[in-house]
Chains A and B, each alone.
Chain A
Amino acid sequence: MVVLLLFTYIPLLGSVIAWMDYVPFLGFTGSDWVGWDNFTALFQDSAFWSAVWNTLQITFLQLLLFFPVPILLAVLLNTVAMPFARRFVQSVIYLPHFLSWVVIIALFQQIAGGAGVINRFLITHGASPLDIMTNPQIFKLLLTTQAIWKDAGWGTIIFLAAIAAIDQGLYESAVIDGAGAWNRFWHVTLPGMRPIIVLMLILRLGDSLTVGFEQILLQRDAVGPGAAEVLDTFVYYNGVIDGSWGAATAAGLLKGVVSLFLVLAANKLAHRLGEEGVYRR
């Protein structure tokens, strides 16, 4: 608690620079107050709204396509009866988490890029190449695929832990009641994991305005800002690179406020469904 107080709360006071034209050598007391200028400048920029819209689209896509993957993987792994195979797969699938985006994107490019394995094959056989890495239309899907490859395996560990916490007695009695594999999944595994799934979902929602900054920045030129500008890259290009601390902090606060609403809403929904969520009234 003390740590939180010292390293989060007191420094949070520093967020006042959102209302300042902060210059590091002048400090908090020496910099000019600019009122809501940093905020209004954001709101008036159409590129800002386009970035927010892109961000939300990507978040939604990832919730739909990415979020369930680790859960399913965890369940699948859990049904593997050979300990060696299970351990092996478990240990392998979380490896990509440790590769940096630079490397991952380079590897994707080796396979699916304009001069990658697939297209080299097509070109040498007289077919026209496929535009995968530089196509704005499918960029968001590409991002999601990359994210799944990198982090789905890593994401399973928390769900594996959830499964591990399920009382084995429940399975035993389910089998005695004659439940098949599907029924066991549906009536024992899933309900057992549900609190954690809901919790993870809410936490992800709290983060919905944050989507792979580095991953996107690296590929932004390939598809253009129209498809790839997200909130974080927008702030990067419109505040950070010029050292506009105030503007960047203002955007950070806005993200927090939006997340607050999303989390409160999601939590309410969780309560309706009879779950604990992160926070009970």
Chain B
Amino acid sequence: MSVIDRPVWLGRPKPVAIALKALALVLISGVVIFPFLVVISTSLATKAEIDANGGYVLWPTHVSFDAYRQIFDGTQVSRSIVISVGVTVAGTAFSLFCTVLAAYGLSRRGSLFQRGLLTFVLVTLLFGPGMIPVYLMVKQLGMLNTYWALIIPGAVSAFNIVIIRGFIQGIPQELFDAARMDGAGEWRILWSIVLPLSKAVIAVVGLFLAVGYWNNYFGPLLYLNDSQMWPLQLVMRSFVLENHISSNATQIPGQIRPPAQSIQMALVVIATVPILCVYPFLTRHMSKGMLTGAIKG
């Protein structure tokens, strides 16, 4: 792929415009990257350096992986990462399946009960149940202490349905008409027209969902009693909390820990990196020109 992928029909923009844009992008990236640098640096810094700098370090002079060692050594962190990945993948797949079907159904005007169902969905956008009633329902269904409790209750959200539906409605009606004329059924239309043309939004919603599942610690907190089953976020949370308290009932004699601050920053890094890996896969589906491609075959 060439460095520049400007469409042939587009002329070369003025140098000033390019320079301005570049400046804007550099600024924006800088403002974002700088704090991350601080986070990563602090996670690698030594206690002396953190203390000397009053809490945060911009560039550690002595790189130390103690914080990471402390987090991984003999703990459940690695196991919980596997659990989190599993729940995230399964949850996102299940949820995306339900959401796309619901959104497609609700986007076809005139289909059976479409209006009523739409209202049904929209109401949940505005009114939500409390924690205890949901807990009781999960219990009734026998999902307590199972991973189902993490995947199913939050799988369908009106917000995501509405967004995907909005995009599906943007697909030109002619395409559907043409497909029907060719004798395609609803499933076929969904499969060969809606899905390819909505790749971008499905990718986006998929990302929303994946991040949601990944970051969810509240579900496991409530539904999983066995700490061996905890996903990463909940295990991480116990680390974060541990570093927030003054001290602890069982004062462990002579425990020498890496600085709390660097552990905290290391936790941020560990909790963020895996979900970041998802992003590049999604951006691929978000390049422009999908519709053109579709129509031109």
What are 7 A-B interface contacts by the 8 Å CB criterion? A3-B155, A12-B129, A15-B127, A82-B3, A164-B288, A196-B163, A203-B159
Which residues of A in the span 246-281 have a Cβ within 8 Å of any Cβ on B? 248-249, 252-253, 256, 259-260, 263, 276, 278-280
Report A69 CB to chain B, min CB distance, Å. Answer: 10
Would A13 and B133 count as touching, CB distance under 8 A?
Answer: yes
Pairs of residues from A and B, 10 with the lowest C-beta to C-beta distance, nearest first: A14-B133, A11-B129, A11-B133, A161-B200, A168-B292, A256-B127, A81-B6, A164-B200, A7-B153, A168-B289
Report B91 CB to chain A, min CB distance, Å. Answer: 12
- Measured CB to CB, the nearest residue on chain B to A176 is B9
Q: For residue A94, which residues in chain B have a CB less than 8 angstroms away from its CB?
A: 279
Give me the interface of A with B, judged by CB distance under 8 Å. 1, 3-4, 6-15, 17, 24, 73, 76, 78-85, 87-100, 103-104, 106-107, 110, 115, 149, 153, 157-158, 160-169, 171-172, 175-176, 181, 195-196, 199, 203, 206, 245, 248-249, 252-253, 256, 259-260, 263, 276, 278-280
Report B245 CB to chain A, min CB distance, Å. Answer: 14
Report A144 CB to chain B, min CB distance, Å. Answer: 15
Q: How far is the CA of A165 from the CA of B206 in the complex (A)?
A: 17
* Binary interface encoding of chain B residues 224-237 relative to chain A, with 1 for a CB under 8 A from any of its CBs, else 0: 00000000000000
Q: How far is the CA of A98 from the CA of B270 in the complex (A)?
A: 11
Q: For residue B28, which residues in chain A have a CB less than 8 angstroms away from its CB?
A: 73, 89, 93
Q: For residue B13, which residues in chain A have a CB less than 8 angstroms away from its CB?
A: 181
Q: For residue B291, which residues in chain A have a CB less than 8 angstroms away from its CB?
A: 165-168
Of B126, B134, B163, most A-chain CB atoms within 10 Å = B126
Contact A181 B17, CB 8 Å, known A87-B283, A93-B29, A110-B55: yes
Q: How far is the CA of A182 from the CA of B195 in the complex (A)?
A: 32
Q: For residue B211, which residues in chain A have a CB less than 8 angstroms away from its CB?
A: 97-98
- Measured CB to CB, the nearest residue on chain B to A116 is B54
B210 proximal to A (CB < 8 A): no
Q: For residue A90, which residues in chain B have a CB less than 8 angstroms away from its CB?
A: 283
Chain B contact surface mostly: helix
Would A171 and B121 count as touching, CB distance under 8 A?
Answer: no
Contact A153 B32, CB 8 Å, known A15-B130, A206-B125: yes
Contacts A97-B211, A164-B200 known; list 16 others, CB within 8 Å. A3-B152, A3-B156, A4-B158, A7-B152, A12-B128, A13-B133, A85-B25, A89-B25, A98-B268, A100-B268, A103-B39, A160-B204, A162-B167, A164-B286, A175-B10, A195-B170
Q: For residue A181, which residues in chain B have a CB less than 8 angstroms away from its CB?
A: 13, 17
Would B130 and A252 count as touching, CB distance under 8 A?
Answer: yes
* Binary interface encoding of chain B residues 50-91 relative to chain A, with 1 for a CB under 8 A from any of its CBs, else 0: 000011100000000000000000000000000000000000
Would A259 and B126 count as touching, CB distance under 8 A?
Answer: yes
Report B135 CB to chain A, min CB distance, Å. Answer: 9
Q: For residue A93, which residues in chain B have a CB less than 8 angstroms away from its CB?
A: 28-29, 32
Would B117 and A157 count as touching, CB distance under 8 A?
Answer: no
- Measured CB to CB, the nearest residue on chain A to B24 is A76
- Measured CB to CB, the nearest residue on chain B to A281 is B115
B203 proximal to A (CB < 8 A): yes
Q: For residue A166, which residues in chain B have a CB less than 8 angstroms away from its CB?
A: 288, 291
Report A33 CB to chain B, min CB distance, Å. Answer: 17
Chain B interface residue number, banded: 35 or more
Contact among A12, A88, A196 for B127, CB-based, below 8 A: A12
B21 proximal to A (CB < 8 A): yes
Q: For residue B7, which residues in chain A have a CB less than 8 angstroms away from its CB?
A: 168, 171-172
B174 proximal to A (CB < 8 A): no
Q: For residue A100, which residues in chain B have a CB less than 8 angstroms away from its CB?
A: 268
Report B98 CB to chain A, min CB distance, Å. Answer: 7
- Measured CB to CB, the nearest residue on chain B to A16 is B133
Which residues of B in the span 225-279 have a Cβ within 8 Å of any Cβ on A? 264, 268, 271-272, 275-276, 279
B181 proximal to A (CB < 8 A): no
Would A10 and B4 count as touching, CB distance under 8 A?
Answer: no
Contact A88 B167, CB 8 Å, known A11-B136, A165-B291, A168-B292: no
Report A245 CB to chain B, min CB distance, Å. Answer: 7
- Measured CB to CB, the nearest residue on chain B to A94 is B279
Q: How far is the CA of A176 from the CA of B6 in the complex (A)?
A: 15
Report B31 CB to chain A, min CB distance, Å. Answer: 7
Would B129 and A95 count as touching, CB distance under 8 A?
Answer: no
Would B163 and A158 count as touching, CB distance under 8 A?
Answer: yes
Report A74 CB to chain B, min CB distance, Å. Answer: 10
B290 proximal to A (CB < 8 A): yes
- Measured CB to CB, the nearest residue on chain B to A157 is B204
Q: How far is the CA of A26 from the CA of B188 in the complex (A)?
A: 53
Q: How far is the CA of A228 from the CA of B154 in the complex (A)?
A: 31
Report B204 CB to chain A, min CB distance, Å. Answer: 5
B137 proximal to A (CB < 8 A): yes
Would A10 and B137 count as touching, CB distance under 8 A?
Answer: yes
Would A199 and B166 count as touching, CB distance under 8 A?
Answer: yes
